Amino acid sequence: MELGSADAFDRMGTLGVEEEFYIVDERGRPASGISDLVYDHPPDGVLADRLDHELFQFTIETQTPLIESVDRAGNVVREVRDALVDHAADYGYRIASAGLHPAAKWRELDHATKPRYKSQLDRIQYPQHRNTTAGLHVHVGVDDADKATWIANELRWYLPPLLALSVNSPFWNGFDTGLASARAKIFEGLPNTGMPTYFEDFEAYRRFERRMVELGSIEDRGELWYDVRPHTGHGTVEVRTPDAQTDPAATVAFVEYVHALVEDLAARYEDGESGTEIRREILDANKWHAMRYGYDAAFVTRDVEDTVTVEEFVAAESDRLGLDSLSRIFEGESGAARQRRLRDDEGLDALCEALCLD
């Protein structure tokens, strides 16, 4: 079995970005294109060996090359996206991006036939059969396994506000869910998702990961789909919380923030700061507010004595970390609000068109 180790954690501050997208036709509607784009005609260039698909035949994932500096993240994210759009266009497809595709009806769509996914569909059944979600995953390299575990623990409180800023999935299976991020709630229907518990150190996490595989609860460590995890293969802290973003500038803003936050927490760990032990139930409640209300959410503070709004969170984090990434996001309308406005004002066709990257 493939299991990682503490030795993987050997570099600080590197980046990797994974984005999940939808393969669509000329009208922006879901299209089964993974055979053409992944298997029959694998891409070269920046996408070589960095393009894969997800559970459905209209979902696809890109991975960036290793990014050595956060200053390069914007260029690399855009280069990968442009390459994907061009590759899809060569075979008559377009690419769309959102946390959920508003026109996707899961009962009418074909699943991928990769053995790993066939096994998941058989084991998990309904929650996986309906899982048309697309997310943004950010990896930040950490040079010590215990440090990475401590950072992952501390990151948990910051994830609901991050989700609130990224909300981009109000529609699912053809209807308005009333949520700002229905993707987050649908994905939580799978096992081993949502907020992880606190881990005392890396050995505690490694032992948990290993036992889950050895006892047959999961088939491989990749099925630990929590919102944040020490990635024992890549040697990173992986944040899996945000909805997929339509605008590449939004993706870059979230990458910049996650990188700055991990670097800040790493410095606090080095200074000997004690961790924050907050109940998972409080974190779950905060995440629910993010899913439901998006920009209008409020969150229980880490000391469980007060609440903080998204606006207050953005102001405090921008000042504390000296960056404007979150402010750039919050100054505009949320992805969920934009989708609802387009659907209400111009109709589903216009919304599908607006989610396309080209």
Structural domain for 322, as ranges = 6-354
- What's the confidence (pLDDT) of residue 277? 86
H-assigned helices in 190-240:
202-214
- What's the confidence (pLDDT) of residue 2? 63
Please indicate, yes or no, if residue 238 is contained in any of the structural domains: yes
Give me the phi and psi of 170, to 5 degrees please.
Answer: -80, -25
3-state class of 315 per DSSP? helix
Q: How far is 113 from 126, CA to CA, in rounded Å?
A: 17
3-state class of 60 per DSSP? strand
Q: What is the pLDDT along the chain (358 residues), one digit of tens a residue?
A: 567 789 999 999 999 999 999 999 999 999 999 999 999 999 999 999 999 999 999 999 999 999 999 999 999 999 999 999 999 999 999 999 999 999 999 999 999 999 999 999 999 999 999 999 999 999 999 999 999 999 999 999 999 999 999 999 999 999 999 999 999 999 999 999 999 999 999 999 999 999 999 999 999 999 999 999 999 999 999 999 999 999 999 999 999 999 999 999 999 999 999 998 899 999 999 999 999 999 999 999 999 999 999 999 999 999 999 999 999 999 999 999 999 999 999 999 999 999 999 8
**What domain count does the chain have?**
1
DSSP state of 300: E
Q: Which residues pair with 59 in a beta bridge?
A: 22
Please indicate, yes or no, if residue 1 is contained in any of the structural domains: no
Please indicate, yes or no, if residue 76 is contained in any of the structural domains: yes
What torsion, rounded to 10 degrees, do the Cα atoms 285, 287, 288, 292 define?
A: 140
- What's the confidence (pLDDT) of residue 358? 82
Helix (H), strand (E) at residue 153: helix 145-155
Structure tokens given for 141: 């390299």
CATH number of the domain enclosing 307: 3.30.590.20
